């Protein structure tokens, strides 16, 4: 019988831990966890994301601040706002919603955020800490951190003796995911579009993580019987059965057939997705604990 991981349930349990940690920090040191979100322009999808992040922050008991800037904001003004937030001791996490409208350049803005406030885990400093296995002072990018919660809850903290394959080598997900698995003692292979005999490589995996953005690419015969399959893909495909012009979301894994083979699998939607905001909240409360000189919670 295959276990289908309920991402909403797991995310809710992480949020519950965040709420407890937030309240305990306030009680022990008088510090209210603070998250600042910066959004530039009027992209509807970005505003929807930012709205949900703000609501979740308030629900967790955070001080939640949103800076909404016009699309014509200059690079200098945006950098100046980040500098102000860096200097504000009541703000523990800074998040700049991507993508930024053109001609703004997101990279220097992301790197300008202090690493200890970089709750998206995108700075070179935090990527470097993860690469050397420093999970004590670094912050891990939210989606791989969320996927790793699933892996730990399935296999425990120590992955010694297990083979893990990550399909995808992006800086945002593939590389940090591979590092997290490696830090937990798995034997890790990073596969990608140039990998020869990809299906064969995948068949060796006890833990298979797919993050390539190709709808239902991973088929049942790619998967080792009994493997754990984490699907990070979010692809919109036509769904004529729902009516003309309608679409539906699918992952990078052909869920129906792979769930016949895998022992544990994440669905799309409802798997890794809900974990991303939950881990953002987790990173923020971790950052607040560190700033207050307290031992942060572990998720």
Cβ-contact 10, 65 below 8 angstroms: no
Sequence-distant (6+) residues with CB within 8 A of 172 are 122, 141, 143
* 203: exposed, middle or buried (Cβ count in 10 Å: 0-12, 13-18, 19+): middle
Tokens of 241: 């059965």
Cα–Cα dist 87/183, whole Å: 32
CA 58 to each of CA 53, 98, 203, 215: distance values in angstroms, whole numbers, following the listed order: 9, 21, 44, 35
Q: Which entry of 53, 117, 175, 224 is annotated as an active-site residue?
A: 53
Q: Does the annotation mark 77 as catalytic?
A: no
The answer to whether 120 is a known catalytic residue is yes
Q: Is 58 a catalytic residue?
A: no
Active-site residue identified among 97, 175, 224, 252: 97
**Which listed residue (118, 120, 206, 252) is catalytic?**
120
Enumerate the active-site residues: 53, 97, 120
């Amino acid at each position: 019988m295959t276990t289908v991981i309920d991402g909403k349930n797991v995310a809710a349990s992480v949020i519950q831990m965040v709420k407890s940690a937030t309240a305990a920090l306030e009680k022990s040191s008088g510090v209210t966890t603070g998250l600042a979100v910066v959004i530039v322009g009027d992209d509807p999808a970005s505003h929807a994301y930012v709205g949900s992040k703000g609501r979740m922050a308030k629900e967790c008991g955070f001080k939640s601040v949103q800076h909404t800037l016009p699309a014509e904001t200059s690079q200098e003004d945006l950098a100046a706002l980040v500098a102000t937030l860096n200097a504000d001791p009541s703000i523990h996490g800074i998040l700049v919603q991507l993508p930024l409208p053109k001609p703004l350049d997101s990279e220097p803005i992301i790197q300008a955020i202090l690493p200890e406030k970089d709750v998206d885990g995108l700075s070179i400093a935090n990527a470097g800490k993860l690469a050397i296995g420093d999970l004590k002072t670094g912050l891990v990018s939210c989606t791989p951190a969320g996927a790793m919660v699933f892996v730990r809850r399935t296999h425990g903290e120590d992955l010694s003796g297990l083979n893990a394959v990550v399909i995808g080598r992006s800086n945002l997900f593939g590389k940090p995911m591979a590092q997290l698995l490696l830090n937990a003692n798995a034997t890790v292979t990073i596969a990608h579009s140039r990998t020869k005999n990809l299906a064969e490589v995948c068949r060796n995996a006890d833990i298979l993580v797919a993050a390539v953005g190709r709808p239902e690419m991973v088929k049942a015969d790619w998967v080792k019987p009994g493997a754990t399959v984490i699907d990070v893909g979010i692809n919109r495909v036509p769904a004529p059965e729902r009516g003309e012009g309608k679409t539906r979301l699918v992952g990078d894994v052909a869920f129906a057939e792979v769930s016949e083979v895998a022992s544990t699998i994440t669905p799309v939607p409802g798997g890794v997705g809900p974990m991303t905001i939950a881990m953002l909240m987790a990173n923020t409360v971790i950052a607040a604990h560190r700033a207050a000189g307290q031992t942060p919670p572990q998720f």
